[in-house]
Amino acid sequence: MAEKRVLVIGGGVAGATAALELAEQGVPVDLVERDDFLGGHAAWLACKAVDQCLKCNGCLSEPRLTATAGHPLISLHRRAEVQSLTATEQGYQAVVCQRPAYIDPERCTACGLCLEACPALEDGAIRLPRLAAESPRLAIDPEQCLYFKDGRSTVCVDLCPEEAIDFRQEDREKALEVSALVLATGFTPFDPTPRERLGYGRFPDVVTAFELERMLRDQGRAIRPSDGRPANKVAFIQCVGSREVAGNNYCSRVCCGYALRLGRALSGRQGCEVAVFYMDLQSFGHAVDDFLDAAASELRLIRSMPYDVYGHHQGGLRVDYQPGEGQAPVSEPFDLVVLSVGLSPNPANQALAKLTGAGLDESGFLDGTGRDGVFLAGTALGPMDVAEAVASAGRAVEQTLGYLEEMQP
């Protein structure tokens, strides 16, 4: 196996799991990740335990990502994308384009001077790693950095005592010879901006569930972005971008589970009053009845879909909904509204399908058809939770190992 290499595309929890399990079987791996950091969306998941574990599976990610980052048989290609793929007698040749790092991780000591001086830090011009294993690595986002906008700010370059920052770097290409590929390119959260009636993008206290996860991970509590005050009354609105003819006409599978777990965490930790507005509740985990009974005892579960979210002249938000058939509409105040957005296909799937020969299903996710030696893992296949993504990666590894064993020496 050491004479064969596998290319894993995508450094989220599924890609990292696949790369790690292959490497532990003695197979060298090239792991291509378009971001500066590993982990994808799973790296932002917050623990939701109160007095006991709520089995959100967020804790499955970090150990795998940490082990992947330090494994000697895994070559990480960050800020990179596969540009071309050519079949060869031994498998494939992949040409990978790697964007500049701008900050040399070998020189950077994380002294913090660039973070203190950066005039666009709050806009994300300099990014911090999500995993302790990736420290002291920092990253510059050229879309937010003022130097790349108009060349007027080089304060970080001037201040860096290690001369670790260099804006003159350019893209470079490298060719990788591999025997097989694992596609683990993940998903994209649904963008609720076009749903104007729900207020996202118009009112700062309307956030997505993924943004709430980051808030809890970074700050440990739910706050109102408008003023930084604690959110005491929170509404979750389900099926935003899922089960919609005008959006994604399928169930995203994970939204009910993560909303109820987030709601229970807010209730147990902050004493928040939490309401969950839903069409019907789906759960794909184990001990479903016990979980739903516990959620119903701690949260207000309202079987009604709000038709308007708007700001109130005295502050806060108002949610308009009909509490029941034949009942008069209600306008109820909330401090924070959380949109449970669904899982959309990665926009790169169409180009990736052409590149690798993988198929696309009717929703735009990758399917199992395609060239020999190309295998799929995680939410590239469709909506699934972290535990399912890890299991999917394990199946992809089994298939890949079987394929490698059958190849001619």
pLDDT band at 286 (very low <50, low <70, confident <90, very high): low
Q: What is the pLDDT of residue 2?
A: 64
One-letter amino acid of 254: V
Cβ atoms < 10 Å from Cβ of 53? 11
Q: What is the mean pLDDT of the chain?
A: 93
Identify the residue whose tokens are 């993008």. 201
Tell me how far apart the alpha carbons of residues 343 and 186 are, in angstroms, rounded to a whole number: 9
Q: CB-based burial of residue 276 (10 Å sphere; 0-12 exposed, 13-18 middle, 19+ buried)?
A: buried
Burial class (CB in 10 A: 0-12, 13-18, 19+), 128: middle
Cα 285-291-294 angle, rounded to 5 deg:
165
Structure-token pair, residue 258 = 């993560």
Domain ranges of the chain: 6-99+171-186+346-406, 102-169, 191-343
- The per-residue pLDDT for range 82-123, each reduced to its tens digit, is 999 999 998 999 999 999 989 998 899 889 999 999 999 999
Identify the CA nearest to 238 among candidates 191, 275, 293.
275
Give the span between the Cα atoms of 15 and 42, in whole angstroms. 11
Asked: is 191-343 a CATH 3.20.20.210 domain? The reply is no
- Cα angle at 130 between 124 and 134, to 5 degrees? 110
Give residue 195's pLDDT band: very low, low, confident or very high (50, 70, 90): very high
Please give the Cα distance from 238 to 341 (Å, whole number).
7
pLDDT at 375 over 80: yes
Task: Give me the phi and psi of 119, to 5 degrees please.
Answer: -75, -10
Mean pLDDT across 201-208: 97
- Going by pLDDT thresholds of 50, 70 and 90, the confidence category of residue 408 is low
Condensed to tens digits (0 to 9), the pLDDT of residues 120-136 reads 999 999 998 888 778 76
What does each C-alpha distance from 364 to 40, 104, 345, 358 come to in angstroms?
A: 19, 37, 6, 11
- Residues 30-63 have pLDDT tens digits of 999 999 999 999 999 999 988 888 888 888 888 9
Per-residue pLDDT at 409 exceeds 80: no
222: nearest Cα among 239, 237, 205:
205
Percent of the chain with pLDDT over 70: 97
Q: Any idea which of 134-143, 228-237, 394-403 has the lowest mean pLDDT?
A: 134-143
Q: Would you identify the CATH topology of the domain 6-99+171-186+346-406?
A: FAD/NAD(P)-binding domain (3.50.50)
Domain 102-169 has CATH 3.30.70.20: yes
Confidence at residue 57, expressed as pLDDT on a 0 to 100 scale = 86
pLDDT given at position 8: 98
Q: Quote the pLDDT of residue 148.
A: 94
Give me the mean pLDDT over the 233-242 stretch.
Answer: 96
Hey, do 102-169 and 191-343 end up sharing a CATH topology, with the first three levels equal? no
Closest among 361, 378, 383 to 9, alpha carbons compared: 378
Is the confidence at residue 283, as pLDDT, over 80?
no
Beta carbons within 8 Å of 173's beta carbon, 6+ residues apart: 83, 95, 96, 97, 98
